[in-house]
A = this chain, B = another copy of it.
Amino acid sequence: MSTNPRAAIVGQSGGPTAAINASLAGVIKAARSNENISRIYGMRYGIEGLLKDEIIEISLTDEDLSLLASTPASALGSCRLKLPEDMSAGEYDIIDAVFEKYDIGYFFYIGGNDSMDTVAKLTRHFRDSDRDVKVIGVPKTIDNDLTDTDHTPGYGSAAKYIAVTMQEILRDCAVYTKKAVTIVEIMGRDAGWLTAAAALPGRIGKACPDYIYLPEKAFDIDRFMADIQAALEKHPNVVVAVSEGIRDAEGVYIGEAKHKGLDVFGHVNLSGAAKALEIAVKEKIGCKVRSIELNLPQRCASHVASATDIDESIRVGEAAVEAAISGQTGKMMCFVRNTPVYSVDIIPRDISEIANKAKTVPDNYINKDANGVTEECIDYILPLIQGEREIVWENGLPKHFTFDK
C-alpha cells in the first residue's frame, strides 16, 4: 500500500460539540504521520464548503493539535447540507472535480446522523462511478442517539457539564428555608441521554435532583404536580430536570402553546418546556418557582470536558484514518464497550445500517414511575464523564485554537 500516496480531506458537520475538534485532531495526527497520505486538506463549512472549493491545507504542530482538541465547536466550520438522493445531480460532478483537483483518496466526515447520510451517499457515488476513494464517518453528537456505537464522542463532555452544573445548582438551591421549585431544562428533543446525566450528582455526592423526566415517556402534567407536591412535603427546595422534548400522551410538546394557560406569543415552542412548567407550578402550587435552560453551554463547555470523552474522540479520529488506509470504505467508526473495567474498542461498521436511525434511552434505564433513571442507567453514563483535561489558560481564559488568522 505504500506506493502512490494520495491526499486526505476532512470536514465537520452538524451541531457543535466540545469533542468534535478532538476527533479532527485525531484524524490530522494519524494522517500526517501516514506514508500513504500525501497532504491533509480541510473543508471549510463541511460539504457545503467542499462544493464551493473552500478548501485549506492543514499542517499543525503538536501544540496546535493539543489546543485544537480542547477548543469547542467546529474549527473548520460546519453545515447542515444533505446531498441529493439523485446520484446524477450536479453536486456529484462538482465533487468529482474537486477530488480530482486535489487528488483526494481519503474522505473523513465528522458529524451526526445527517453527516452519516453524506458518508453513505458519497460511498455509493464513488462505488457506482468506480472511483477509488475511501469514505469514513467519524461520529459525534452530544445527543448520544446514534445506533451501533456504545456511545457517541461529545456525549461524555456534555454529560459531565450537565452533572457538574446540576450539582452546583443543587447547592445553590439548598440555601433557603422557603419552599421553592427549580426546573432545569436539558437538551435532547427525542432522546433523554443528556437529561439522564442530571442524576449523576446523586450517585457521587450528597445532592440529587428530586425527579428527572425524559422524552421517552409520555409526560403527565397532573402526575408531575403530584410529584412536586410530594417532594415539597419532604423538603423546601425541590429541583427537577426535564428534557426539552417532553411530550404529553398525544405527543404534543409541553412547551407548545396548546397547553392551557400557556399561550406563549401564539408561537410553537417559543417558551420551552421548563418555562411552561414554571408557569404551571406557579398557578397550581403558588410557591416560588424558576426555570433554567442549560442551553448552548451543554455542547460547548470545553473548559470542563470529560478527559475520557476527549481521549476517545481523538482515538476514533485516528482509527478512522487507519481504517481508510487498510482499504475500508462506507464505514462509521463505532465504540464497543468492555466491562467490568471500562474501556472501549473502536471498530468500523457498515454505514448503510446506521444512517438515519436514532437510539433512545431504553426502558430498563427509566424508573417505573417515569420520573427518574435506574442505577443501570447511571452505571452506563458514569464512566463517560471521568477525568479532566488539562486546559491551557491564558490571562484568565482557556486558550482556543483557530484556523482563522
Contact = CB atoms under 8 A, between A and B. Distances in A.
Interface of A: 12, 16, 45, 48, 71-74, 77-80, 160, 163-165, 167-169, 171-172, 174-177, 182, 200-201, 203-207, 261, 263-265, 270, 279, 292-293, 295-297, 299-304, 306, 382, 385-388, 391, 393-400, 402, 404
Which of A160, A167, A168: most chain B CB closer than 10 A? A168
A302 B164 CA distance: 10
Given A45-B176, A396-B200, A396-B385, A206 B169 contact: no
A136 B258 CA distance: 54
Total identical chains: 2
A396 B295 contact: no
B382 A386 contact: no
Nearest to A163: B397
Contacts of A171: 16, 71-73, 300, 400
Nearest to A206: B402
B400 A167 contact: yes
16 contacts: A12-B175, A16-B171, A72-B168, A72-B171, A77-B176, A79-B176, A164-B398, A167-B400, A168-B301, A169-B296, A171-B400, A204-B396, A205-B394, A304-B304, A306-B396, A385-B396
A389 to B, nearest CB: 11
Give the 8 A-B residue pairs with the shortest CB-CB distance, closest first: A385-B396, A78-B175, A172-B300, A73-B171, A168-B300, A74-B175, A73-B172, A292-B295
A79 B177 contact: yes
Contacts of A300: 168-169, 171-172
A305 to B, nearest CB: 11
Nearest to A270: B279
Contacts of A270: 279
Contacts of A391: 388
A126 to B, nearest CB: 26
A201 B395 CA distance: 10
Contacts of A79: 176-177
A64 to B, nearest CB: 14
A396 B175 contact: no
A301 B168 CA distance: 6
Nearest to A45: B177
A201 B398 CA distance: 10
Nearest to A404: B206
Contacts of A177: 45, 48, 77, 79
A298 B159 CA distance: 19
Nearest to A272: B275
A169 B279 contact: no
A405 to B, nearest CB: 9
A172 B20 CA distance: 11
